[in-house]
Amino acid sequence: SQTGLLAHYRHLADAAPLPLLLYNVPGRTGSNLAAGTVLQLAEHPNILGIKEASGNLEQCLQILARKPADFLFLSGDDLLTVPLIACGAAGIITVLGNAFPQRFSDMTRAALAGDYARAQRELWYFVGLNPLMYEEGNPVGVKAALALQGLCEPAVRLPLVPASEELTARIKALL
């Protein structure tokens, strides 16, 4: 429940020797930190911000509209980076940026500088690429993209397996 999550994170923040960054990723945890819960946690002096990866734009906007000025909001969803920065997010903790650091950084920096036309042009590239990164599980697609660039081996840990030849070919076509 949200009451349990609130108690849990307050307990962690009270005990932690360093400030905490919340991470809301319901697709992996099966539990969502609702906007109201995040806003209550934002008042804790040892919670500095959140990586918000719910993919729920309305929830993100509720937090951005009401968060304290010193509470850091970072997108955790690559394709929401530009719109969330336009609404006050401080940046992104990215998946795609691992495989495409320069291009993703250029997009993010353009958005942070208010050059939304340039940021949007870069975003359209990632809109086509993003689904491929998750098609066979995360981080399979990113590892395949990195391997195609000669930066690592495509190895992943079980129960994941390296990207199929078909997916690898589709990623290569977009590189």
Asked whether the predicted pLDDT for residue 44 surpasses 90, the reply is yes
Q: Let me know if 67 is a catalytic residue.
A: no
Q: Which of 9, 51, 67, 143 is catalytic?
A: 51
- What residue ranges do the domains of the chain occupy? 2-93
What confidence score (pLDDT) does residue 28 get? 87
What type of residue is 82? V
Mean pLDDT score of the chain, rounded to an integer?
A: 96
Encode pLDDT of 84-119 as tens digits.
Answer: 999 999 999 999 999 999 999 999 999 999 999 999
Q: How far apart are CA 20 and CA 9, in angstroms?
A: 9
Residue 64 confidence (pLDDT): 99
- The first and second tokens of residue 59, run together, are 């929830």
Q: Are 13 and 47 in contact (CB under 8 A)?
A: yes
d(C-alpha 53, C-alpha 32), whole Å: 10
Say if residue 65's pLDDT is above 90. Answer: yes
This prediction has a pTM of: 0.91
Whole-angstrom distance, CA of residue 70 vs CA of residue 3: 24
- 47-52 and 72-75 as β-strands: parallel, antiparallel, unpaired? parallel
The pLDDT of residue 175: 84
In this model, does residue 163 exceed pLDDT 90? yes
Of 116, 105, 54, 58, the closest CA to residue 82 belongs to 116
- pLDDT of amino acid 25: 96
Given a cut of 90, is residue 126 above it in pLDDT? yes
pLDDT at 130: 94
Query: Is 134 assigned a catalytic role?
Result: no
What is the percent of the chain with per-residue pLDDT over 70, rounded to a whole number? Answer: 100
Q: What is the DSSP string of 14-58?
A: HH-SS-EEEEE-HHHHS----HHHHHHHTTSTTEEEEEE-S--HH
